[in-house]
Amino acid sequence: MHNLLTDIAGVRVGHSDDAKLASGVTAVVFDRPAVAAMDVRGGAPGTREGGLLDLANMVERIDAIALSGGSAFGLEAGGGVQAWLAEQGRGFQARSAIIPIVPGAICFDLLNGGDKKWGRFAPYRDLGYVAAAAAGTSFALGSVGAGLGANTANLKGGLGSASAQTGDGVKVAALAVVNAVGTVTIGDGPWFWAAPFEVEGEYGGRGLPAAFTPDMLKMRIKGGPAATPPENTTLAVVVTDAMLTKNQAKRLAMMAQTGFARAIYPVHAPTDGDVVFAASTGEHQIDPLIGLTELGMIAANVMARAIARGVHAATALPLPGTLPAWRDRFG
């Protein structure tokens, strides 16, 4: 176990980003089609192929997930991932046609100081292709891929990941792109809201403050009352090697959203676009009630940890007026 999404066998992750653009793409690629579902809790989501993941609809398995910066422009990243998969002969077969199934979601990073004057066509399709081609079992955290341009209300955001397993050895892991309207840390201090779930000092080992003051519990959001709908989002993927149906994957995504509430304050706001994709590689059978409940419980824990790790690992953008990273302020 490397505390990464790729601790689930058959899952690979790749990044592609552009420092001048201050934005990028992260691709989650499955070696075999995975059962998947999606849960949306934010008030301003931006998604691709979300309709396919509705429980009433036919397609149950996906080939990859594309996470991107760029707001609505970034939805094109899925086309790049799809193009790479098509070259590999991967996809849903409809008679002689093969169509790679690539849901995706975006976060808003258009005002982070990067050069977004890209001309007629946005670069996200090409970034998506490169991210898919680069996918492997080892990947960086922090200010990389879709997390390069991410910010929270008070600190640089980023991309994080974490993993764990049940008592029966069923694995579950999460990856999160943290661009939340709220904060991942408590007040003006170094403590993470997700501190109770930390494992082996993975995000600084600072624990919780001795007491919560009224100031710590004040609302801190991007732009204060003037925060605008497209500016904020946390994107996440939770994957397990349990054998799940599409309905059970939906329940796993819903339970994993609890990790957002443990790690971000406030969360699921009208100005957030929070999305969780859940996927199953189908290696181990579990009890449909007790087993799924335990899996969802642990999924929420690893989600909280992945969110905190994303901010802890981030580095500030080398641009005027950008937010400091956690390490800049607290070492």
The DSSP bridge pattern shows strands 61-68 and 23-40 to be: antiparallel
CA 320 → CA 34, 73, 111, 113, distances in Å? 42, 24, 12, 7
CA angle, 237 as apex, 222 and 174 as ends, to 5°? 95
Give the Cβ contact number of residue 147 at 10 Å: 34
- 328: amino acid identity, one letter: D
Question: Tens of pLDDT along the chain (331 residues)?
Answer: 999 999 999 999 999 999 999 999 999 999 999 999 999 999 989 999 999 999 999 999 999 999 999 999 999 999 999 999 999 999 998 899 999 999 999 999 999 999 999 999 999 999 999 999 999 999 999 999 999 999 999 999 999 999 999 999 999 999 999 999 999 999 999 999 999 999 999 999 999 999 999 999 999 998 776 545 446 789 999 999 999 999 999 999 999 999 999 999 999 988 888 999 999 999 999 999 999 999 999 999 999 999 999 999 999 999 998 999 999 999 8
CA distance 284 to 286: 6
pTM score > 0.85 for this model?
Answer: yes
Question: How far is residue 237's CA from residue 310's CA, in Å, rounded to a whole number?
Answer: 13
Longest Cα pair distance anywhere in the chain, in angstroms?
Answer: 64
